[in-house]
Structure formats: structure tokens, C-alpha cells
Structure 1
Amino acid sequence: MSSSRNCSQSKRIEGLEMPTDPATVIMHSLKVTDTEKLRQGLSDYSAAVRARDAAK
């Protein structure tokens, strides 16, 4: 049972991280110097994606 739970948790975490991957790729490709603002924007975007997905 514990192994099953760990697997489902890993899948859940992986699913939550997937929507942020495109934003992370863009962040790395832009060579932005103000990484703190970008990090905050990515965090806000991630929160919005999670909220949207939770509402489904």
C-alpha cells in the first residue's frame, strides 16, 4: 500500500510541475537579469494553474 501511495504522490507532483515547464523553458531562454521578478511571476503562474486545475 505504501509503495502504491508513493507512486501516486509522485505522479501527482509530476502532474503539478508539468504546466510550469514551458514557463521555465522561456525563463531560461530569455537570459533575464532580474531573476527574482521572474521567479515571482513563475510562482504566480504556477499558483494560477493549480487553482484552475483544482476548480475542474
Structure 2
Amino acid sequence: MEVDKFVLSNFSSTETLLIKDRFDLLEEGLSTWAAGDVNRTLSILNSLK
């Protein structure tokens, strides 16, 4: 997931690093969820019905 360079150019370098870290965490979280947690998530959703 690439963060748009134009968007980043409007932030200071510290803010840019924070945004990049957030995107990396989000991407990592999504791939982890996709790899292993789908069934657990579905069971949680089913228990809420």
C-alpha cells in the first residue's frame, strides 16, 4: 500500500513517518487477519446475532 507522495509532501517529516508507520501497521494487520483470523472473526460476528 503506497501512500500518495503528494499527500506526504504536505506534511512535516515527523508526520510523514507517523503516517507511514500507520499504513505499515494497517497493511500488516490486514494480511494477518486474512491469513488466520477469518474464522475467528466470523464466529465472533455469529455470536453477536
TM-score of the superposed pair, with normalisation by structure 2:
0.50
Picking from 10, 29, 32, the partner of 1:51 is 29
Query: How high is the sequence identity, in percent, across the aligned residues?
Result: 0
Gaps of 5+ in 1: 1-18
**1:41 corresponds to which residue?**
19
Q: Deviations over 1:1-56 (max 9, x none)?
A: xxxxxxxxxxxxxxxxxx2xx21xx23x3433511111111111110110111111
For the residues of structure 2 that align with 1:55 and 1:49, how far apart are their CA atoms? 10
Structure 2 gap ranges (5+): 35-49
Q: Describe the shift of the 1:33–1:52 C-alpha distance in structure 2 as closer, same or farther (beyond 3 A).
A: closer
C-alpha RMSD of the superposition: 1.7
Question: Which residue does 2:10 correspond to in 1?
Answer: 32
Structure possessing the higher radius of gyration over alpha carbons: 2
Runs of 4+ displaced beyond 6 Å: none
